[in-house]
Structure 1
Amino acid sequence: MTFLSSGQKGLDAAVAQVFEDSHHAFGLRHIMEELKGELRKGPWSQQIREGIIEDFTRAAQACSIEDFNISIESIRNISSEAADWIIARKPEYWSDAIFRVCRYDHFSSNIVDAFNNWIPTKKEGSIVLMIDSLRMKIMEVIESRREACKVWPGPLTPTMEYKVEEEMLKARKMTVLCSSDTVFEVRCNAIFVVNLANWECTCRRWQLSGLPCMHAVVVFNRTGRSFYDYCSKFFRIESYQLTYSGTIFPIPDMDTVDFECWGKFNSASQATYIR
């Protein structure tokens, strides 16, 4: 299990202590907003500040330690203080190149923003009614997404199909040398090794995103293999449908809820029953 947080003080140690086999990632947006605030204190122009932010984003999305270091050094050439500030924010929690498990190439905080907007704090008078309001909202989302995916052509979700097209466009001007039935050398601006048996490329994009990189694509084209046979199962429409296949059952009129029983649930010692 991977926990995502804003990186507040103490959370890194607390998560590791309570959930020993889990992983902990920091949300990129929170660090980026902090960095923007720090840069506004300095003497740099807006253009230079934007350049530092772009380098920081490249460092976060870098697939290798080498690419991460290049981005950090680019920042250090402008400001060693800014580079030191970024390194102090523990890149092992937010950089693809260093994070120990896969982030699936995804940095969005949309789900957090959407959930915060759902919470009807001004309309509902109790926690029970608030939870019920959230339940109804989730039911609506599940139903709308369950219906939407019925017309998708597949085999991948539309977002992933778009990324497939991008990788195929990048793979046009590359040379492939065959080492074995499963190992290939791909030459472009550099040399990369693609291992089909292990679903790996030395660029590490395939391993990190779950979607074959452009170097793997050119190998597929050379060998007549299907791109879709080497994608993470989580990107397939079948997995999307399974995600929203569960049922949230209706609840009777909330006026009939026994609030006295809810009150008895305030502490573990008193939680002897609940209807």
Structure 2
Amino acid sequence: EYNVLNGKEIRFDFNDKKRVRARCKHCVEYSVYVSKVSNCETYRLNTLHDKHACGRVFHKTCAKSSWVAKLFINKMKATTSDMALKDIVGEIQVNYSTGISMSRAWRAKQIAGFLQVFEEFPVPIEHRFCLRHLYNNFKKKFGGGVQLRDLMMGAAKATYEELWKSKMQQIRDLNEAAYWWLYNLDRKAWCKHKFSSHTKCDLLMNNLSEAFNSTILVARDKPIITMFEWIRMYLMNRFSNLRDKCKNYTGQIMPKLLKRLDWEVEKSGNWVACWGGDGDFEVSHLHSGEKFIVDINQNYCSCNF
């Protein structure tokens, strides 16, 4: 917002917990450097050259769609009519002397609509990132590579905080900027160890929504009543087919769950349980040294698996 209001574009050359350096994108005269004073929580302004040699920039990359969305969300709540894209572009140009494209205005409008819907929910809703899309953005910024990808996936799938910290430290050893990019994200949106236990779903991918969207693709261009009727009939047929399959299945546990359970039982030979009283156990790994607390009565394990 500072960049937009002042008509400049400031970039951060270096930014971590101890120091921050900012420069102007279009001239070398403007420079700010701030560092942390040792042994306290005070920051010192070491360098300040606040004069710009460049003129005002009209089209700014810092005027992102998320920032534009926050400006217009209250206006969208107050009006019942749909805001035109040209109106959004015009207001940004008049009020902030900044130009944005129609595509950026369209993205801002979509984001503002989502924010408005989320705020109208009567109960708190847990929002998560799709790990696949998150990795695609991560890859664009820091490049690919099997090692960095596996560490990021491992950090997201870690079910307890100590394992997450271990994976993140390995990422930091490889790429400091990648570490801080992930660290600044809301962990509740992409890290399994921070997911709420209230929602009985720990999926990291958006596969359920993608599969549903691809299924109703043939009905999405139909009138609203016709589309709902198509979805209703599809669900009825699907439930009927699944019910018939369940009748013919003789086992007590579903096949995929049984396969995973067998795999866990096979690996259980590496663990030793020590009874602590009532239904409490301390479970230790023979080789890695990992230890967890298990409460049989509460169906709880400190690994959060």
TM-score (norm 1): 0.60
Q: Residues of 2 paired with 1:134 and 1:202: CA distance?
A: 41
More strand by share: 2
For residue 52 of structure 1, give the secondary structure of its aligned residue in structure 2: helix
SS at match of 2:127: strand
Choose the corresponding residue for 2:164, options 68, 86, 96.
Answer: 68
Letter in 1 for 2:284: R
1:193 aligns with 2:293: yes
Match for residue 214 of structure 2? 117
Contact 1:175 1:187 in 2 (8 A): yes
Of the three residues 175, 183, 200, the one matched with 1:87 is 183
Distance 2:219 2:195 in 1: 39
1:111-164 per-position Cα deviation (integer Å, ceiling 9, x unaligned): 222222223458954233222222222222112111111122332222211111
Which residue of the other structure, out of 206, 228, 252, is the alignment partner of 1:155? 252
Relative contact order (C-alpha < 8 Å, sep 6+): which is higher?
1
Structure-2 residue corresponding to 1:177: 274
Structure 1 counterpart of 2:302, which letter? T
Counterpart AA for 1:140: N
Aligned runs of 1:214-233 on 2, under 5 Å? none
- Counterpart selection for 1:54 from 130, 147, 150: 150
Secondary structure of residue in 1 paired with 2:194: coil
Q: Secondary structure at the match of 1:76?
A: helix
Matched, 1:78 2:203: no
Aligned residue for 2:135?
A: 32
Work out whether residues 281 and 293 of structure 2, in 8 Å CA contact, stay in contact via their aligned partners in 1: yes
3-state SS in 1 of match to 2:128? strand
User: How many Å separate the matches in 1 of 2:253 and 2:170?
Assistant: 37
Q: How far did 1:16 drift? A: 5.6
Unaligned residue ranges in structure 2 (runs of 5+): 1-109
Q: How many aligned positions are there? A: 191
The answer to whether the Cα contact below 8 Å between 1:120 and 1:130 also exists between their aligned partners in 2 is: no
- Distance in 1, matches of 2:124 and 2:262, equals 36
Shift of 1:67: 0.9
Residues 1:175 and 1:126: Cα distance change in structure 2 (over 3 Å)? closer
Q: Which residue of 2 is the match for residue 98 of structure 1?
A: 194
- 1:122-271 aligned at under 5 Å gives the runs 125-188=222-285, 189=288, 190-205=290-305
How much has 1:62 moved relative to structure 2?
0.8
Q: Deviations over 1:180-227 (max 9, x none)?
A: 13112222232322211121222221xxxxxxxxxxxxxxxxxxxxxx
CA contact (8 A) 1:63 1:204 kept: yes
Cα pair 2:129 2:204 within 8 Å, conserved: no
Could you tell me how far apart the structure 2 residues matched to 1:133 and 1:17 are? 28
1:55–1:74 contact (8 Å) kept in structure 2? yes
Report the identity percentage.
Answer: 23
Where 2:269 maps in the other structure, the secondary structure is coil
What SS is found at the alignment partner of 1:26?
coil
Amino acid at match of 1:166: W
Cα 1:94–1:157 change in 2 (3 A) is same
2:125 maps to what in 1? 22
Cα-to-partner distance string for 1:228-254 (whole Å, 9 max, x where unaligned): xxxxxxxxxxxxxxxxxxxxxxxxxxx
Pairwise CA RMSD of aligned residues?
Answer: 2.7
What is residue 21 of structure 2 aligned with on the other side?
A: none
C-alpha spacing 1:146/1:122, structure 2 compared with 1 (3 Å): closer
User: CA 1:197 to 1:120, structure 2 compared with 1: closer, same or farther past 3 Å?
Assistant: closer
